[in-house]
Amino acid sequence: MILFYLSLYCVLFGTTSALHLLHANVAAWGEVVKQTKAHAHLANYAEPELAETELVAVFNRVWAELRVACPTIPEHHDVSVGFDDRLLDPNDEDYANVLGYAYATEMLSEGVWSSVLSSQQKRDFATGRGATPLGVLRVAREIPGGWYRGDGACLYKFRLEDVLRHEILHLVGISSSVRKGVDGSLYVGTEYAGLCFPGAFDRAIRNKYGEQVVGTSCEFTAQLGGEPLYVNGVQLYQYEGDFLQGTSISHLRSLDAMMTPSIGYCMPDGDKPLTTLDGSVLASLGIVCDDSMLVKATERFRNPDFLAGSPDEPNPIVEGSDPTVGAPTHSPSPGTGQTDDSNPQGDPIQRSSQNSVHRATESPQRQLAPAALLVALVSAMLAYPI
């Protein structure tokens, strides 16, 4: 029997709403702009221009600091870090209020897709097969008042470290594959060889009864927008009656958590900390953090007020809510008989997915990939068992 060892690097070009973009909080944005204008006459108010070399250096420092708290993430990241000049462009409605985004290469192993940056072993496997970069992170080049760098006192500016740390948590795996297809329907998981496989984060999602809501063949049984959903006891963000692409299910329903749905201006007393809520979710992915280095947090919540097009009603997804919205469903390919977590291809398969938003292969039954899909095959190996 021939075993196929495929090392794939896929770049997906789709609608920008498929990305888990980090939005600026509208109230914070307004205050930052107001204060920047009020202090425009002060030569030293605006932060120095951020060069790409400094951006990379700050990212490396933030990664290393996060690894002190969570030592099971890889020592080296192999992430491409840079600017995207579409971000904060007022003429681009998709990016007009976006501070940054990231996406990581993922590996199909034991029936689930997981970020190759979630462990040293996965990272070494990916780099050993020539997969590079293992992730991409982009931030806006210029923002009102300039990017504040460092962990000192700051007010009415956006702190670069806060944005980078948030995106790193997406890179290592906090990201659901639930997304809208071009037909407006919701889908979960990614197909390979005619079978659908969920993401590791998908499999960690539970309803209020502790039941998994994503099956091994991408069956989705939850009522999105109609019932609370959790990962390791921490409630996920969602909005009743609507699925907010790139935000719902992949963030935590808390103002305090690092993985809050939108970010405000910097805290005056230092970096936004990694919390016990973030640590609990990371633990569900096998990422171990030192509890003594996590800040105890509550699930204090306010609906995220994005800069544009955001609902402003209170979020009603609380314990005891009645399910009102149908869940996304996936029917496995006819005749697959896929009922367990096994990978029929044997070894792991690598691919890159924008912020872990997995798009299944387009088929007559499902039109999942918006816009264009470019698949670049980096290497393919045939191995024969001895």
322: tokens are 């009645």
* N-term to C-term CA, the chain: 10
Boundaries of every domain in the chain: 3-383
289: tokens are 């953090």
How does pLDDT run along the chain (386 residues), one tens digit per residue?
Answer: 333 333 333 322 222 234 678 888 888 899 999 999 999 999 999 999 999 999 999 999 999 999 999 999 999 999 999 999 999 998 988 788 899 999 898 999 889 999 999 999 999 999 988 888 999 999 999 999 999 998 777 889 999 999 999 999 999 999 999 988 888 888 899 888 889 999 999 999 999 999 999 999 999 999 888 899 999 999 998 876 678 777 889 999 888 899 988 888 998 888 899 999 999 999 999 999 999 999 998 777 666 555 433 434 444 455 543 333 344 444 333 333 333 333 333 455 555 544 333 332 222 223 223 222 222 222 222 222 22
Nearest 5°: the CA angle 137, 99, 272 is 90
DSSP 256-300: SSTT-SEE-SPPTTSPPPPBHHHHHHHHHTT----GGGSBP----
